[in-house]
Structure 1
Amino acid sequence: MGGALTLTVSALVYPSMLGLDTVSTSADRLIANTQWGPFTESDRAFVVAVRAAGLWEHPVGQIGLEKGQSKAVLIASQHLIDGHAALDETCRKIAPMLNVVLPNVASPQQEGFVTTLKTAQGKQFDIDFANILRMTHGSIFNTVAKVRSTTKNALVRALADQANDTVLDHITVMEQTGLVDFDTTLFNQTKPPTLPKSDMTPPVPPAGQPLVVLPPPPNATSTPADLGPAMNGAAANGG
């Protein structure tokens, strides 16, 4: 079959670290030659990281719609659900094309954020919501830019384009709550990680487990990435 993947065993294993650190410590290591371009360790880590982000931020958006005290937090919650549902659809489309195993559960660190927000009440919920999500989106924003500027894979570029728009939108709506403590948030965003790698990596799902789908809201405005240009480019190159 034209464009078949040339894989190593490592293509089925998650990157060692996700979350608030860089997506890979060996970003240039080639995993596969695909019809959409070379697929590296950094590329794979990025696809998994986008999926993992949605697995905790989409439900946090739903929690925010239930517990948010201000209109700005309710709006930000809607943006989380809308944006991550569309990103997740793109991840689920390209993962089998690139032979990437996607998680069904976020990392322990990310699940800890969810627990914190489930526990918080009243005004404190709004404060924790805005600051946790501004921190995490600010952290991944730099990773998105790095992946977009260095990847040679057209499918990963398409996901990075969509992620760039979505993450910037989410940063913006968090800041518009007026609750972000920039000094603390930016310090936490940029300090070296202190958690063990296992806490920052989502667990691999059991073999054959169906993928969790993050449903879009009824009034969704975000759309999945247009993969047409990547497909057309592969065809033009004989893929």
Structure 2
Amino acid sequence: MGGAMALTLGALAYPSMLGLNTVSTSQTQIIAQTQWGPLTEGDRDFVVKVRAAGLWEYPLGQIGLQKGSSKGVLEASKHLVDGHAALDASCRKIAPMLNITLPNIASPQQEGFVTQLKAESGKSFDTDFANILRMTHGSIFNTIAKIRSTTKNSLVRALADQANNTVLDHITVMEKTGLVDFDQTIFQQTTPPKLPSDNLTPPAPPAGQPEVVLTPPPNATSTPLNLSGLTGDGGGSGGNAPAPTPSPTVG
């Protein structure tokens, strides 16, 4: 295993491809009634977390395509770029419909993963790449299931379906690299160190800043959500939009 793996996970790891920690105690609180169903704080946080995940995993996939030294890592990198470009397009599609402000930069913790892997090469890069991404994707799997099984908002349900498929695919391709240390990775994903909330929170974009767009690869196989047929099926009363506030707790 790459020598930096233990340092990275010890210093940075928190189960947070999208973040599991939250400073809010009201994740089930309804913040708006929309035509797609009621929107809770947890729903809003989830949309922001999916966006934040792409803001670090998409560029890391691009780095992996340049620095990966094994076929497995190169293939996994393609999946990161392809999957997160489509998820990002979905987030950018539904966020204005729900009046959710999306970040343009990932959290400091997530940026830390990218910075550390940028400095590595060869087998060390491949190993840490596979383990960090297996850990973060594995940690969010249950969170996606919880959102999918509890949200009453049809747009959020559709995003959770897409995120579930994408995360499972990314878990699988990381495991296929043959580089995952399951004992250490699962330990880190289930017993993470606590980090300050500001390490887990992507900054809100400055007013007027253009929205960052994650461009799909030329040979993209993943597609954004098709929202036809979702309007009005959430059972909401419509009208009241949530305040355009990004999630306070993205890992």
1:210 equivalent in structure 2: 210
Following the alignment from structure 1 to structure 2, what is the Cα–Cα distance between the partners of residues 20 and 41?
14
- Give the letter for the 2:79 counterpart: H
- Taking the TM superposition and a 5 Å limit, the aligned residue runs for 1:91-170 are 91-170=91-170
Q: How far off its partner does 1:76 sit? A: 0.2
Specify every segment of 5 or more residues in structure 1 that has no aligned partner in the other structure, as ranges. 1-16
**Residue pair 1:18, 1:200 contacting (<8 A) in 2 also:** no
**Residue pair 2:18, 2:46 contacting (<8 A) in 1 also:** no
Partner deviation per Cα, 1:181-218 (whole Å, 9 max, x = no partner)? 00110011011441100000000010111110000101
82 and 61 in structure 1: CA distance in 2 versus 1, 3 angstrom threshold: same
Equivalent pairs: percent with the same residue? 71
- Residue 223 of structure 1 aligns to a residue in which SS? coil
Partner deviation per Cα, 1:31-57 (whole Å, 9 max, x = no partner)? 100000000010000000000000000
- Residue 39 of structure 1 aligns to a residue in which SS? strand
Following the alignment from structure 2 to structure 1, what is the Cα–Cα distance between the partners of residues 234 and 147?
20
- Give the letter for the 2:140 counterpart: I
Q: How far off its partner does 1:225 sit? A: 1.5
Higher relative contact order (CA 8 A, sep 6+): 2
Following the alignment from structure 1 to structure 2, what is the Cα–Cα distance between the partners of residues 234 and 116?
42
Partner deviation per Cα, 1:50-93 (whole Å, 9 max, x = no partner)? 00000000000000000000011000000000000000000000
Q: How far off its partner does 1:237 sit? A: 8.2
**Residue pair 2:38, 2:236 contacting (<8 A) in 1 also:** no
**Residue pair 1:53, 1:106 contacting (<8 A) in 2 also:** yes
147 and 193 in structure 1: CA distance in 2 versus 1, 3 angstrom threshold: farther
Partner deviation per Cα, 1:94-141 (whole Å, 9 max, x = no partner)? 001111010000000000000111011111000000000000001111
**Residue pair 2:82, 2:217 contacting (<8 A) in 1 also:** yes
Q: How far off its partner does 1:227 sit? A: 1.2
**Residue pair 1:21, 1:192 contacting (<8 A) in 2 also:** no
- Give the alignment's TM-score, normalised by structure 1: 0.89
**Residue pair 2:130, 2:180 contacting (<8 A) in 1 also:** yes
Following the alignment from structure 1 to structure 2, what is the Cα–Cα distance between the partners of residues 236 and 106?
31
Q: How far off its partner does 1:19 sit? A: 4.3
- Residue 229 of structure 2 aligns to a residue in which SS? helix
Aligned length: 223
Q: How far off its partner does 1:27 sit? A: 1.5
1:178 equivalent in structure 2: 178
- Give the letter for the 2:59 counterpart: P
Structure 1 residues 29-38 or 17-26, which shifts more?
Answer: 17-26
192 and 72 in structure 1: CA distance in 2 versus 1, 3 angstrom threshold: closer
Q: How far off its partner does 1:20 sit? A: 3.9
- Give the alignment's TM-score, normalised by structure 2: 0.84
